[in-house]
Structure 1
Amino acid sequence: MKVLFDNCTSPVVASTLNGYIKHFRGAAFHIMDVPGLPKGRHSADIDWIDHLRKASEKWIFVSGDGRVLKNPVERAASRSAGLHGFILAPAYQKTTLNKVAATIVWHWPEIVKITELLAAPSMHEIPIGRMTKLRQLPV
């Protein structure tokens, strides 16, 4: 499984998570490093969603911007792409990068389980608390 971290996340978090995820035969990329994405970091949400939809590998995405759920065009694109999306809770905005990465690693088994048990599309919020479960969001 490959993971895209969008522009609302730090490249540091993506590269840190890549070190962890690659042990499970996966990879994590910040949007600026996604192979084959024509505009790289400057891609609109619709463009990278479509890119992931066309990919032969299984992709999920992590975003720090919950507005992807409110924009009707992006929401429809995400639904039709059949992606699992994970939105960072608003509290991540004020959290240091090491704690953001540590919390995502803490929740990683739950993230993987969701992608295995639920049919895409699905959307979940990753809470800041380690003892709090992921919360399902409307797609």
Structure 2
Amino acid sequence: MKVFFDHNLSPALARALHELFKPQHEVVALRDKFPATISDLDWITALSRDGQWVVISGDRRITRNRAEYQAFGNSRLIGMFLSKGLQKAPVVKQAERLLALWSTIETVAGTVTGGAMFELPMASNRLSQIK
């Protein structure tokens, strides 16, 4: 599984998960793959061309901005968006929840097509699909 952390999440968290899960999974932070100033539309397009990626994001704006939502929905990407509470949580809590949800993320990523978006919850192990 290829996993991409957008700029709203700690690149250190992405790097730690990369070390933990390599070589089985590739986990990269936005700033390790693209210039920090890249627009959401540009990285969505580039990653989609590159293949199926799981995007872990704290940027729910992507789900509300019409152009970004359409680009993501038409992409080969699978979105995992942190819930509001999880986005505001300390990085240690985010890491804890991502580790707890990792097998669920793997399962979902293997069963859905690109353009699907889900919310990563603060407490439960059930992902909700974002329509």
| Aligned counterpart, 1:26 | 25
Moved >2 Å (runs of 4+): none
Matched, 1:85 2:79: yes
Distance 1:42 1:21 in 2: 28
The Cα offsets for residues 9-47 of structure 1, whole Å up to 9 and x where unpaired, read as 111211121122325x2111110001xx3xx22110001
Identity of aligned residues (%): 29
Distance 2:19 2:61 in 1: 28
2:97 to 85, 95, 103: 103
Distance 1:27 1:62 in 2: 13
| Shift in alpha-carbon separation, 1:75–1:103, aligned structure 2, 3 A | same
What TM-score does the superposition give when structure 2 sets the normalisation length?
0.92
What TM-score does the superposition give when structure 1 sets the normalisation length?
0.87
| Aligned counterpart, 1:48 | 43
Distance 1:133 1:96 in 2: 21
The Cα offsets for residues 63-122 of structure 1, whole Å up to 9 and x where unpaired, read as 101110110100111112121000001112332211211110110100010011122221
Distance 2:17 2:54 in 1: 13
| Shift in alpha-carbon separation, 1:120–1:93, aligned structure 2, 3 A | closer
Runs of 5+ unmatched residues, structure 1: none
SS at match of 2:122: coil
SS at match of 1:41: coil
Distance 2:100 2:116 in 1: 20
Runs of 5+ unmatched residues, structure 2: none
Counterpart of 2:106, as a letter, is V
| Aligned counterpart, 2:16 | 16
| Aligned counterpart, 2:116 | 122
* Correspondence list, 1:125-136, <5 A: 125-129=119-123, 131-136=124-129
Distance 1:93 1:54 in 2: 28
Superposition RMSD on alpha carbons, in Å?
1.4
Matched, 1:68 2:50: no
